[in-house]
Amino acid sequence: MKLNIEGLLVYFPYDYIYPEQYSYMLELKRTLDAKGHGVLEMPSGTGKTISLLSLIVAYQRAFPLEVTKLIYCSRTVPEIEKVVEELRKLMEFYTKETGESNNFLALALSSRKNLCIHPEVSSLRFGKEVDGKCHSLTASYVRAQHHSNPNLPVCRFYEEFDSVGRQVPLPAGIYNLDDLKAFGRRKGWCPYYLARYSILHANIVVYSYHYLLDPKIADLVSKELAKKSVVVFDEAHNIDNVCIDSMSVNITRRTLDRCQTNVDTLQNTIHKIKETDAAKLREEYRRLVEGLKEANVARETDIYLANPVLPDEILQEAVPGSIRTAEHFVGFMRRFLEYLKSRLRVQHVVQESAPQFLKDIFEKVCIDRKPLRFCAERLQSLLRTLEIADIADFSAVTLISNFATLVSTYSQGFTIIIEPFEDRTPTIANPVLHFSCMDPSIAIKPVFQRFQSVVITSGTLSPLDIYPRILDFRPVTMASFTMTLARTCLCPLIVGRGNDQVALSSKFETREDFAVIRNYGNLLLEMSAIVPDGIVAFFTSYVYMENIVASWYEQGILENIQRNKLIFIETQDAAETSMALEKYQEACENGRGAILLSVARGKVSEGIDFVHHYGRAVIMFGVPYVYTQSRILKARLEYLRDQFQIRENDFLTFDAMRHAAQCVGRAIRGKTDYGLMIFADKRYARADKRGKLPRWIQEHINDGSLNLTVDEAVQLSKHFLRQMAQPFRQEDQLGLSLLTLEQLESEDMLQKITQIAHQT
Amino acid sequence: MDEQGCPRCKTTKYRNPSLKLMVNVCGHTLCENCVEMLFVRGSSNCVQCDTPLRKSNFRVQLFEDPTVDKEVEIRKKVLKIYNKRDFDFPSLREYNDYLEQVEDIVYNLTNNVDVENTKLRMEQYQRENRDVIQRNKAKLTREQEELEELLLQEQQSNEQRRLEVLQEEQRQLQAKRKNKQALLDELVRCTRCMAVCMCNDKSSDAISELHYDRCSMSDRQTVSLQPVTKIEDVLYHYRPLQVETYGPPVPELEQLGRLGYLNHVRAAVTQDTAGGYTSGLACYRAIQDAFSGLFPLRG
């Protein structure tokens, strides 16, 4: 259908539209008009993706000079593929309606592992290996050597792309990863480099967060993207953690040992090269005297693992004299390494700031701040000069040099924590140096500064105001949308007591309490008897789950549950988990269904959808707080309090509730779906916890379902399930939660729609 | 670390965890015991390279690689002489060249390359630049100044934060005390309004303390001093309960016998009827149960 969104003609590829989609598009249009950033929350399964795409594409067509590009960031490869498919549908609709083929170029970009078509390289299993191998075939010096010695292997796809691929732009169309590969095969071009090259002039780019947020990758891939782009972060409820992870470095004893071998190799190679080809080192030396800028403009294949963000003025300055020659630099690295080793030899936990660290390092091994700052860049230059083909081997020394650069560049927002052992095993020495970023805004700041509009959206972003605060930006629109429903297909219940009136809670004091564990078991048992098909149960941690399941086994609860349903368990092993998941789904297809026991923050809670009969009930045992004793977390909380005035408890609760909402949201993936959401902890009933749930869940929690016993919950669930099992047709939804164009344009509906968005 | 050991007596860290390794200017390791033994007279030659050494120059080895210890030692010495700062040079380029020169000297001394010449060079430099060296001795480099400043800032902010937290705590404490006092005053003024106060501020500790005091005073007798509170509200109207059973209508209790339902249940014995039980009651419930939920949901 064709919509009129405040004067903008939007093609929407479906015959019906949800009212909240219309409202979402309104908000989005206002964000784009204001050229600002936005935070939008809309429940999963209400067609966020298509609303986003159709509005932004329409905007791009209407104002081609205002918005030139859409950068859509998603989390996983399957999600990226889904987005591209939606886009394809939209484009087909456009051609059908307008009758002309539009010259839109949209493509997905992923790592070499997913895009390589070289027969040998693509057969490797790990992403790192693929990257390393690819680099050894495509680096510029390898190719230069190939000219003189044709026996040396190079990648023929890259050669082909390099000679002809750059002149001819990728023909307009929608390309997912497979399309790119097929196109590459047909032409004999490398799809990865083709995609990387083409994103510069594509209208829509779909790729993973890391290409924009991880400074090491962003520098390579996204550096040249146009300023007038719209950036969308989908499923962005975890964005602060992604930012932090991309800037943090962990160094263990093993890293240092590997680094030691790396440095030894470097030294040997320098020796060798000095005897055979001293001119090369001299050439590098000359270049470094001139300044880094020139080195920085080396060709794209060489800059392989580039440096973390550096202020521009440093890039324009020359490398300090103390690390200019190769030997001196290796000596420098050796000293730095020995210093780190001596620091790791601590007996107790040390926490210090970056300036303290820098002062100490100067006193101990006379290393200044400036050469440290250039460390990453200098190492890259050396690796290039020494023509070391397999850079994957040198990941350890690269990591250390990145650490050196980061620690000397940022004096704020980072902390250094050295722990001699893990908390759980205080007798086994396993020293780790955490260089942890506490400020997610550091990594994301360039994105907000560079791009005209950045939209952060997800199904669970409540409370909305905390994201602008921790990411340090000023949004022009913040809105939360609810699901308009023809029938209440979700039923959140807070079970606070067992049948024996014992309070249910996973808090630390009652964790080991048998009564609580038994009541939790009872709850699952009763639910397994009344819920058809699949049940997913989430625990707060792996350890807690193991304890409880062991205890249930002893008490015979597990046996009773197994009379009703099969039980599957998520483990820390990814292969085992995906196996369990597959079998769980198989069991849901047949017979009486199954129960999946899994962990909040685990793989299942983040990326797996349990549509329809795969998840008829989700039970959340306890409140999924993070492990609060971790020093990294403590440091971060302190930082949040000092810098952003966010109280520790607020942040912890916020974090716990967004994960809880993520978990229970797994079951509802659309308006025809239905599911029970059981929060089994009495703490959920408190206003501060409940208030942090997304609005679309909150508004279905009524006062009657705040502090239920197991029995009462069973009664309510029975009633709910019986109601939901009645046939539900599309006609029931029409006019209420599903609109045709005429219905949408009616006066009172428009009025209703304006109320959907919850402005904050 | 464990495989480190003294090259002379072959003791390793693994076998003797309290082993202390020492290193002298030549960069060769010896354990503390061997040093004590060999250097009884204050000076001797290195076991490995025959350099004449003094006992007083032995230092505890900080790093795993003794050459790094040696290098740091040398570097500190060299930097004392070569202490020019970047503002002593007209351009960055020259400063960098100077830095490289320093690095060269350190490298040569550490790796025993051309030691004599290097030492000569150093001495010459020292003679030529005596006043600059003297002048720069007290000065820090610009970077170090920055660092010091940052550290100072950090300290100050920490201190400030500590004070703020302290103040905040005090303020809370005071507020609490004030509340308590105010409440007690009010109670003294009129005991009658106590119930109201209780309702207003249930969470206050003062009240509960007071309450318990009172309890102990009256020796746990259930004498209530509170006036009976009058509840004023809209009068309650009874509305008959409407139960939606989703099934066919259930016959009335009185009609059960007439319709013959009672023939199918066990008749009540005299003992049962003593408590007011009739077989009709059980039958009525069974029928209600059976009839409910038979129809599909409407609406």
Average pLDDT score over residue span B16-22: 84
Closest of A485, A470, A454 to residue A43, by C-alpha: A485
Q: Tokens 């993520």 — which residue?
A: A662
In B, minimum Cα distance to A370 occurs at: B143
Average pLDDT score over residue span A45-57: 90
Domain stops at, among B96, B130, B150: B150
Strand positions, DSSP E, A202-345: 204-208, 229-233, 249-252
pLDDT band at A747 (very low <50, low <70, confident <90, very high): confident
Containing structural domain, residue B2:
1-61
Instruction: Report CB contact under 8 Å: A338, B64.
Output: yes
Average pLDDT score over residue span A727-754: 78
- Both B34 and B76 in a single domain? no
Average pLDDT score over residue span A691-719: 91
Chain mean pLDDT for chain A: 86
Structure confidence at residue B102 (pLDDT): 87
- Both B137 and B79 in a single domain? yes
From the options 3.30.450.20, 3.30.470.10, 3.40.50.300, 3.30.428.10, give the CATH code of A490-727.
3.40.50.300
Instruction: Report CB contact under 8 Å: A355, B150.
Output: yes
Structure confidence at residue B195 (pLDDT): 53
CA distance B30 to chain A (A): 19
Instruction: Report CB contact under 8 Å: B96, A320.
Output: yes
Residues present in chain B in total: 299
Q: B150 — contact with chain A (CB < 8 Å)?
A: yes
Q: Is residue B202 part of a domain?
A: no
Q: A82 — contact with chain B (CB < 8 Å)?
A: no
Where is average pLDDT lowest: A169-183, A547-561, A690-704, B77-91? Answer: B77-91
> Smallest Cβ distance to A327: which of B68, B107, B151?
B107
Where is average pLDDT lowest: A649-653, B36-40, B223-227? Answer: B223-227
Residue B35, C-beta contacts closer than 8 angstroms, at least 6 positions apart:
B22, B55, B58
Number of helices (H) and strands (E) in chain B: give both, helices first.
11, 5
Q: Is the bond preceding residue A463 a cis peptide, omega within 30 degrees?
A: yes
Res A307 pLDDT > 80: no
> Smallest Cβ distance to B92: which of A318, A335, A362?
A318
Task: Please tell me the distance from the alpha carbon of residue B127 to that of residue A294, in angstroms, as a whole number.
Answer: 39
CA distance A322 to chain B (A): 5
Structure confidence at residue A78 (pLDDT): 85
Instruction: Report CB contact under 8 Å: A325, B100.
Output: yes
> Smallest Cβ distance to A335: which of B68, B99, B147?
B68
Task: Please tell me the distance from the alpha carbon of residue A595 to that of residue A584, in angstroms, as a whole number.
Answer: 7
How many alpha carbons lie under 13 Å from residue A121 in its C-beta half-sphere? 28
CA distance A365 to chain B (A): 6
The three-state DSSP-derived secondary structure of A522-561 is: HHHHHHHHHCCCCEEEEECCHHHHHHHHHHHHHHCHHHHH
Structure confidence at residue B203 (pLDDT): 47
Q: Which helix (H) or strand (E) holds B186?
A: helix B142-189
CA distance B257 to chain A (A): 33
Q: A313 — contact with chain B (CB < 8 Å)?
A: no
Q: Are B100 and A328 in contact (CB under 8 A)?
A: yes
pLDDT digits (tens, 9 = 90+) for A452-479: 899 999 988 888 888 998 898 999 999 8
Structure confidence at residue A387 (pLDDT): 78
Q: Is residue B146 part of a domain?
A: yes
Q: Is residue B177 part of a domain?
A: no
Q: Are B19 and B6 in contact (CB under 8 A)?
A: yes
Q: B62 — contact with chain A (CB < 8 Å)?
A: yes
In B, minimum Cα distance to A289 occurs at: B93
To the nearest whole percent, how much of chain A has pLDDT over 70? Answer: 95
CA distance B62 to chain A (A): 7
Closest of A735, A750, A759 to residue A22, by C-alpha: A750
Task: Please tell me the distance from the alpha carbon of residue A637 to that of residue A156, in angstroms, as a whole number.
Answer: 52
Task: Please tell me the distance from the alpha carbon of residue A394 to that of residue A405, in angstroms, as a whole number.
Answer: 17
**Other beta carbons less than 10 A from residue A554's beta carbon:** 11
Task: Please tell me the distance from the alpha carbon of residue A209 to that of residue A214, in angstroms, as a whole number.
Answer: 8
pLDDT band at B132 (very low <50, low <70, confident <90, very high): confident
- Both B71 and B146 in a single domain? yes
Interface test with B, best of A270, A366, A642, A643 (most B CBs within 10 A): A366
Interface test with A, best of B68, B82, B109 (most A CBs within 10 A): B68
Average pLDDT score over residue span A136-156: 82
* Two structure tokens written together for A333: 């690295």
Segments of chain A assigned to CATH 3.40.50.300: 490-727
Where is average pLDDT lowest: A2-6, A475-479, B116-120, B200-204? Answer: B200-204
The three-state DSSP-derived secondary structure of A355-421 is: HHHHHHHHHHHCCCHHHHHCHHHHHHHHHHHCCCCCHHHHHHHHHHHHHHHHHHHCCCCEEEEEECC
Task: Please tell me the distance from the alpha carbon of residue A511 to that of residue A541, in angstroms, as a whole number.
Answer: 12
Residue A406, C-beta contacts closer than 8 angstroms, at least 6 positions apart:
A247, A249, A308, A414, A435
Alpha helices (H) along A412-474: 440-450, 466-471
pLDDT digits (tens, 9 = 90+) for A199-238: 888 899 999 988 888 877 777 777 777 788 899 999 898 8
pLDDT digits (tens, 9 = 90+) for B235-287: 788 888 887 778 888 888 888 888 888 888 888 888 888 888 888 888 888 88
Interface test with B, best of A293, A343, A369, A414 (most B CBs within 10 A): A369
Average pLDDT score over residue span B195-219: 47
Q: Over the Cα atoms of chain A, what is R_g?
A: 28
Phi-psi category of residue A472: left, alpha or beta, with phi > 0 → left and psi -120 to 50 → alpha: left
pLDDT band at A391 (very low <50, low <70, confident <90, very high): low
Cα–Cα distances in Å, from A734 out to A17, A69, B268?
10, 35, 57
Q: Is residue B191 part of a domain?
A: no
Structure confidence at residue A416 (pLDDT): 92
Instruction: Report CB contact under 8 Å: B100, A338.
Output: no
Q: Are A432 and A171 in contact (CB under 8 A)?
A: no
Count: domains in chain B: 2
Interface test with B, best of A257, A341, A430 (most B CBs within 10 A): A341
Average pLDDT score over residue span A625-643: 88
- Both B144 and B96 in a single domain? yes
Q: A residues 600-659 near B, CB within 8 Å?
A: 642
* Two structure tokens written together for A164: 């002809």
Look up the CATH number of the domain holding residue B44.
3.30.40.10
Cα–Cα distances in Å, from A692 out to A619, A626, B166, B231?
18, 16, 30, 36
Beta-carbon pairs below 8 A across chains A and B: 89
Instruction: Report CB contact under 8 Å: B72, A335.
Output: yes
How many alpha carbons lie under 13 Å from residue B38 in its C-beta half-sphere? 22
DSSP A462: -
Res A195 pLDDT > 50: yes
CA distance B110 to chain A (A): 10
More confident residue, A302 or A758: A758
N- to C-terminal Cα distance for chain A?
31
pLDDT digits (tens, 9 = 90+) for A318-360: 778 888 888 889 999 999 999 999 898 888 888 988 888 988 9
Q: Are A618 and A669 in contact (CB under 8 A)?
A: no
User: CA A447, A453, A455 angle in degrees (round to 5)?
Assistant: 85
pLDDT digits (tens, 9 = 90+) for A266-302: 998 888 888 887 787 788 787 777 655 544 444 343 3
CA distance A323 to chain B (A): 7
- Both B70 and B135 in a single domain? yes
> Smallest Cβ distance to B147: which of A320, A358, A726?
A358
Where is average pLDDT lowest: A85-99, A134-148, A343-357, A654-668? Answer: A134-148
Q: B residues 255-284 near A, CB within 8 Å?
A: none
Task: Please tell me the distance from the alpha carbon of residue B254 to that of residue B252, in angstroms, as a whole number.
Answer: 5
Cα–Cα distances in Å, from A128 out to A134, A210, A217, B155?
10, 15, 14, 43
Task: Please tell me the distance from the alpha carbon of residue A47 to that of residue A500, in angstroms, as a whole number.
Answer: 43
- Both B70 and B44 in a single domain? no
More confident residue, B190 or A304: B190
> Smallest Cβ distance to A322: which of B71, B99, B146?
B99
pLDDT band at B194 (very low <50, low <70, confident <90, very high): low
Closest of A334, A326, A424 to residue A378, by C-alpha: A326
- Both B144 and B73 in a single domain? yes
> Smallest Cβ distance to A338: which of B65, B100, B143?
B65
Structure confidence at residue B127 (pLDDT): 87
Pairing label, strands A490-497, A675-680:
parallel
pLDDT band at A310 (very low <50, low <70, confident <90, very high): low
Most confident range, picked from A179-193, A422-436, B65-79, B267-281: A179-193
Residue B258, C-beta contacts closer than 8 angstroms, at least 6 positions apart:
none
In A, minimum Cα distance to B97 occurs at: A321
pLDDT band at B192 (very low <50, low <70, confident <90, very high): low
**Other beta carbons less than 10 A from residue B80's beta carbon:** 11
Q: A261 — contact with chain B (CB < 8 Å)?
A: no
Res B221 pLDDT > 70: no
pLDDT band at A565 (very low <50, low <70, confident <90, very high): very high
pLDDT band at B70 (very low <50, low <70, confident <90, very high): confident
* Two structure tokens written together for A259: 């680094």
Taking contacts as CB-CB distances below 8 angstroms, the residues of chain A near B61 are: none
Instruction: Report CB contact under 8 Å: A366, B297.
Output: no
Q: Are A644 and A412 in contact (CB under 8 A)?
A: no
Pairing label, strands B52-54, B43-45:
antiparallel
Task: Please tell me the distance from the alpha carbon of residue B213 to that of residue B207, in angstroms, as a whole number.
Answer: 10
Q: Is residue B47 part of a domain?
A: yes
> Smallest Cβ distance to B151: which of A319, A356, A726?
A356
* Two structure tokens written together for A555: 């008490």
Q: Is residue B269 part of a domain?
A: no
Average pLDDT score over residue span B26-47: 85
> Smallest Cβ distance to B297: which of A341, A355, A723?
A723
Q: B295 — contact with chain A (CB < 8 Å)?
A: no
Structure confidence at residue A556 (pLDDT): 93
Please, is B177 exposed, middle or buried when counting C-beta atoms within 10 Å of its C-beta (0-12, 13-18, 19+)? exposed
Q: Tokens 């390791």 — which residue?
A: B29
Cα–Cα distances in Å, from A39 out to A24, A174, A219, A234, B78?
11, 27, 25, 11, 57
Res A53 pLDDT > 60: yes
Structure confidence at residue B216 (pLDDT): 41
Most confident range, picked from A457-471, A516-530, A692-706: A516-530
